[in-house]
Amino acid sequence: MLKSACAACAALATCGFSRAAGGVKKKRLVRVLYSLHAVKQPRPDWPNIGFDFAPVMKRYTEALKRGCPGFEIITAMARGPQDAEKIVKEDQERGVDLYVVFQMNCWNRVVQTAAATGKPVLYVDFLFAGSGGFLVYTAQFLRRNTRNVAFISSSRIEDVVDAVRCFERAGTPEAFVAAVAELRKKRTPPFRAQSVMPDRVETISAKECLERLREIKILAVGGGWPGIIPALKKELGITVVSVPFAELTGAYKNADRDQAREIARRWERTAARIEGVSASTLEDSAAMYLAQKTLLKKHGAFGISINCLGGFYGGHISAYPCLGFHELNNSGLVGGCECDLRSAATMSLISVLTKGRPGMISDPVLDISKRWIVYAHCVAPNRVFGPQGPVNPFEILTHSEDRKGASVRSLMPLGYMTTTIELAPERKEILFHQGVTAGNVPVDRACRTKLAVVPCGDFEKLFTQWDRWGWHRVTAYGDLKEPIFGIADALGWKVLREA
């Protein structure tokens, strides 16, 4: 089974090295583990269905062989713990000295098996592909003070190669981890104070904001994680109403198709680009938007969050809600992805506090080579300064992971201060960091919108909280530090600075 699973990688595993006899010093043996579903991705996940990993693995393997001539490089693929355990067992006979684990899909648990050997491990993120698991698992290793796991998250392949080469001078796993940490910090550009575009944010008082939150109702369609509904009500007064998929589907089927066509035609006129999305798919997305509005009106709700992936993949809904969320967020209401109630509540607070500025929910990616945190998702507003503010260009593309339906790439303005937070009512905490927008990343992997931000503060701290808070973050344009800290003071909550 193991041989067949790794057959497609066989060419990559051949290093052409033969150990010489007669006192010649043996090269250290490095096992590279590519953690992924398959060479050609068979199902929706980051980076996307149908993605061909073979050229990526080849590029990394060849770079390691060129850049690390003092090591013998052998490679294998592993889909999860079972594959990894078999490989590790074989490696005991080979005498592997170092593991290099590439996280190439998000949640394949392979690095844990390598770490359990006690051998030094270099954990590598293939950006916009394995980043969710990489961030969560790295934070777990840091919290547990795992002494043999080093990590690197960079779009620059030289940083990965040089991290492996840290093993040349490391006598112990702890020394290797320390050497990679030193390299990672040196390769991360230092924070430099920079001028930002003027952006006057109108906010209301903490007292008024909290009073208005107590009047807010959020609809949770088809789920409602991470199980914080009682805490939202107790601490913030936010009411969550559970809605079955059937109610949303009924509203979708009853949507006015003439009105849906008008909305679809408006999107066609205003989008900077439409690619891979048919006119009928646009109309279906518009009908889903009308269905969301129907439910909001019926329940008197401020926001709606839908288990969109489970609903679409499970056949419960036949159109993605992404464009509907885009419209709601542009209007000062809340359209939240994946039935993530933590983030939906966070978006609600931001909108109320700022008189309608939208919060963008995202799956972040860290890139030390540019000192970037990249906020990635297939939903984003294009009125980042509020319903009456200027618009920025947006594109309509397929939903990234499965290349179906319709989603949004928003090309957001650069040079502006942003504030990123998450609420944890069950712990009475607010997670907080800020940064200046620096780019809209065009990489065709993972979610469509990718807003790159240079974070203010200690970049290394950004690796530490994903295990406690999950992958999602909510970002808004504007310097909201003072009002957010005011909210925390009024609630008696703690603000945890993430950077």
> Does pLDDT of 75 surpass 90?
yes
Condensed to tens digits (0 to 9), the pLDDT of residues 26-50 reads 799 999 999 999 999 999 999 999 9
21-25, 236-240, 242-246: range with lowest mean pLDDT: 21-25
Instruction: Provide the pLDDT for residue 192.
Output: 85
In a domain, 62, yes or no: yes
CATH of the domain at 36: 3.40.50.280
> Does pLDDT of 11 surpass 60?
no
245 contact partners, CB below 8 Å, separation of at least 6: 221, 222, 307, 311, 316, 317
- Region 308-330: mean pLDDT is 96
Do 308 and 164 fall into the same domain? no
Instruction: Provide the pLDDT for residue 269.
Output: 98
DSSP string, 140-156: HHHHTT-TTEEEE--S-
Do 162 and 230 fall into the same domain? no
Domain end (from 187, 220, 243): 187
- Token pair, residue 289, equals 């938007």
- Token pair, residue 430, equals 């607010």
Do 417 and 464 fall into the same domain? yes
Q: How far, in Å, CA of 142 to CA of 461, rounded?
A: 11
The chain-wide mean pLDDT, for the chain, equals: 94
In a domain, 352, yes or no: yes
The amino acid that residue 405 corresponds to is G
Do 281 and 153 fall into the same domain? no
Do 211 and 169 fall into the same domain? no
- Region 438-454: mean pLDDT is 97
Contact criterion met (CB below 8 Å) for 347 and 358: yes
In a domain, 198, yes or no: no
Please count the CA atoms within 13 angstroms of the CA of 384 that sit on its side-chain side: 26
Instruction: Provide the pLDDT for residue 24.
Output: 56
In a domain, 438, yes or no: yes
Specify the number of domains making up the chain. 2
- Token pair, residue 155, equals 């779009």
State percent of the chain over pLDDT 70. 95
CATH of the domain at 378: 3.20.14
Domain end (from 130, 155, 187): 187
Please count the CA atoms within 13 angstroms of the CA of 68 that sit on its side-chain side: 33
pTM as predicted: 0.94
Do 182 and 251 fall into the same domain? no
Rounded to whole angstroms, what are the CA distances from 150 to 66, 76, 160?
A: 21, 20, 11
Do 211 and 183 fall into the same domain? no
> Does pLDDT of 21 surpass 70?
no
In a domain, 367, yes or no: yes
Do 217 and 119 fall into the same domain? no
Residues spanned by the domain of 313: 206-497
In a domain, 411, yes or no: yes
Indicate the pLDDT class of residue 19, thresholds 50, 70 and 90: very low
In a domain, 200, yes or no: no
Do 179 and 251 fall into the same domain? no
Please count the CA atoms within 13 angstroms of the CA of 215 that sit on its side-chain side: 6
> Does pLDDT of 419 surpass 50?
yes
Instruction: Count Cβ neighbours within 10 Å for each residue of 319-336 and write b for 16 or more, e otherwise.
Output: bbbbbbbbbbbbbbbbbb
Domain end (from 141, 158, 187): 187
Do 142 and 221 fall into the same domain? no
Do 168 and 248 fall into the same domain? no
> Does pLDDT of 85 surpass 80?
yes
In a domain, 351, yes or no: yes
Condensed to tens digits (0 to 9), the pLDDT of residues 190-209 reads 988 778 999 999 999 999 99
> Does pLDDT of 23 surpass 80?
no
Rounded to whole angstroms, what are the CA distances from 12 to 15, 34, 63, 264, 415?
A: 8, 11, 12, 47, 42
- Region 379-390: mean pLDDT is 97
Do 171 and 213 fall into the same domain? no
DSSP code, position 359: P
